[in-house]
Amino acid sequence: MVSRRWLPFRLLQIGDTNVVCFAVAEELDTVQQANERTESLLSFIKSSPELSVTRTHLGLDNYGSLVNAAVQQWNGAVDDDQRAVEHIVTTLLPSLEEGLR
């Protein structure tokens, strides 16, 4: 269950689309721990009528530098061969994106 406390959002580079890519990871979390935290948040927000959530798994074979750069944000460790990166697509993105910058 997601509590009302501050969540440690870790964003991948924001592009020129309406897609926000993120993970929820505490400092020093492993990839597996970050995936579990992110899944907990997804379970909480899936019922929102304003958001569409999809998941993409980035394997180290093809996306190793992107995965490693993301994990370095929280000084974590790669202990899984994939890192789940979540995408939230929303019509309210301009206000969401401003709040995340």
Higher pLDDT, 18 or 42: 42
Whether residue 23 has pLDDT greater than 50:
yes
Q: Would you state the structure tokens that stand for residue 48, as one six-digit string?
A: 């929102």
The DSSP symbol for 30 reads B
Question: pLDDT of 52-98, one tens digit each?
Answer: 777 777 778 888 888 888 889 999 999 876 666 665 655 444 444 44
CA distance 84 to 52: 16
Boundaries of every domain in the chain: 9-92
CB atoms within 10 A of CB 100: 12
